[in-house]
Amino acid sequence: MNRERKSALILGLATGIAFVLALGMWLGHETHEAQAARIDPLTKAEGVQSLEEIELEHADPIQDRILAASTDAQTPATDPVDLRYWKFDLPELRVFRPEDQLTGTVLRANGQPAVRAGVYLAGHATRTNERGEFRIGIRSVFVGEEHEVWAFEPGSQPARVTVAKPLMLDAQPRPAVVLTLGAPVLSIQGRLMDSEHRPLVGWKLNLEDPTRISPASASDLGDYAEPLIENGSTSGRTTDSNGAFEWVGLMDREYHFTAFDPATLRSLQSPGLRAGARAVEIIAPPDTRVAELAGRLVGLDNTPIAGALVTLESTVGTGRRPPVSTDANGMFQMQWVPRTGVRILVQGDMITERPFELSNLDLDSLIVLTTARLCAVRITGLPEGPDLRVVHALTSWGSKWDVKWKENDVFRSATSLEFTGSAVPDLYLDERIVKLRLITRPGRGVQERAVALTPGTLTVVDW
């Protein structure tokens, strides 16, 4: 009898456990459907039955450019798409908990909803739906700081509101925000003229002080306000045959820009110009270029460096002159060199590449440029094996320096050299290197060797 009771008890417990498991699976299924239903009012397309069927839609040039090759319809619905410096919380692919999101509406100046407007918050971005509504994840936004929420639509002044600290710190759903876009976008129209009032044709203009809207450290589409309110255009401007230019997509404030001539590398800095200004005339300073610049390139021991390439390049734009070579005495010459807005870059297989600013040099007399030579180093005595090894080169002041080596008779350069086993190529290092550091991975330790390098001599380091 006792045995029958025990059997019945065990059977009852097993049945109860099976029921609880089945109930949990059913509740999990319902939770998933509830999540899908919860995003339906804002983002779910007509006729979509599940999250797996939702396809990525991005029909505007700004988001197309940033999201190209970054995601597809198979992107998991757990994390925002992270491409370089921006995290895009795509509503078609993401379900947020109420406490992890900020919701709101973007309106045009006439009170109508702004459809597909961009919304940006501390490096995160999303788009509004057909009713101007949005949701954006804020779980990874820095806690304890205030952040500006920006809204953009090409052709209109942007809108912004500040998200206060309490909204970042509590665990409750955030109240919705409303962003109202401003008046039509502004522009600056003007002409560039020389000191004799002749038009400067083909000069390139670049904004010096665009409005940064992201904490990102690189200049990328989305970092600045102006490209987002001008249909995603990030290119500069070029003056026409009359020296005229127009810069569209500006906010209601003062701007500065630089201009340079790709042909001569001359440059200028504009005064402050208020957005909306018309018929502005900017007069370039007189042409004070050096007709002929003479220079000499030497090593740290003051001996001439022959066969190096010397290039004049703009510090304002992307223009540069074809390089000239140093002769047997390290001498070189350049014609019509601007006194400002340019620098000289020296390069060569067996020297350290180095730029030289010309604004601090006397260009009316011989200029002497100094750079370090490279020294050949051969590492021996490394054990065979599949371990990954990394070599760093260190200076006397503790900084890492570039490592150079040959690959198929072509020089390569990087901050370190990675290789496996004992097959390490000969290195070419700055003569100021005093130490080599060898890291063996994974977790096999770090070793260092002091070196004394001499240009023209092969240094062997036996590990």
- Chosen domain end from 265, 283, 301: 283
Question: Residue 258: is it exposed, middle or buried by C-beta count within 10 angstroms (0-12/13-18/19+)?
Answer: buried
- Chosen domain end from 331, 353, 370: 370
From residue 376, alpha-carbon distances to 406, 418, 425 in Å are 11, 18, 10
Q: Are residues 113 and 73 in the same domain?
A: yes
Which of 278, 161, 156 shows the shortest CA–CA distance to 213? 161
Query: What average pLDDT score do residues 418-422 get?
Result: 83
Predicted confidence at residue 3, as pLDDT, reads 55
Neighbours of 446 (CB within 10 A): 10
Predicted confidence at residue 192, as pLDDT, reads 97
List the structure tokens of 229: 């309110």
Is residue 102 over pLDDT 90?
no
Tell me the pLDDT band of 39, cut-offs 50, 70 and 90.
very low
In a domain, 386, yes or no: yes
Predicted confidence at residue 353, as pLDDT, reads 94
Phi and psi, residue 441, nearest 5° = -120, 155
From residue 427, alpha-carbon distances to 197, 374, 418, 463 in Å are 56, 9, 12, 15
3-state secondary structure string, 401-449? Answer: ECEEEEECCEEEEECCEEEECCCCCCEEEECCEEEEEEEEECCCCEEEE
In a domain, 43, yes or no: no
List the structure tokens of 198: 């002749």
Is residue 182 over pLDDT 60?
yes
Cα 34 from Cα 167, distance rounded (Å): 26
In a domain, 7, yes or no: no
In a domain, 449, yes or no: yes
pLDDT digits (tens, 9 = 90+) for 1-25: 455 555 555 656 566 665 555 555 5
Q: Are residues 66 and 158 in the same domain?
A: yes
Torsion angle in degrees (nearest 10) through CA of 412, 416, 422, 425: 20
Tell me the pLDDT band of 360, cut-offs 50, 70 and 90.
confident
Query: Sign of torsion, CA 380 385 391 396?
Result: negative
pLDDT digits (tens, 9 = 90+) for 204-228: 998 888 888 865 543 444 578 888 8
Percentage of the chain with pLDDT > 90? 48
Predicted confidence at residue 419, as pLDDT, reads 87
Predicted confidence at residue 11, as pLDDT, reads 58
Query: What average pLDDT score do residues 412-437 get?
Result: 90
What domain count does the chain have? 4
Task: Between 54 and 451, name the one with better pLDDT.
Answer: 451
Cα 249 from Cα 318, distance rounded (Å): 23
Q: Are residues 251 and 313 in the same domain?
A: no
- Chosen domain end from 220, 251, 283: 283
128: CATH: 2.60.40.1120
Tell me the pLDDT band of 373, cut-offs 50, 70 and 90.
very high
Is residue 82 over pLDDT 80?
no
Q: Are residues 79 and 176 in the same domain?
A: yes
Which of 303, 343, 342 shows the shortest CA–CA distance to 326? 303
Average pLDDT, the chain: 78
Neighbours of 290 (CB within 10 A): 15
What pTM was computed for the model?
A: 0.67
The CA angle 209-64-247, to the nearest 5 degrees, is 30
In a domain, 191, yes or no: yes
For residue 406, the enclosing domain spans 375-462
Q: Are residues 90 and 135 in the same domain?
A: yes
Predicted confidence at residue 29, as pLDDT, reads 43
Predicted confidence at residue 409, as pLDDT, reads 86
The identity of residue 37, as a single letter, is A
In a domain, 167, yes or no: yes
Predicted confidence at residue 6, as pLDDT, reads 54
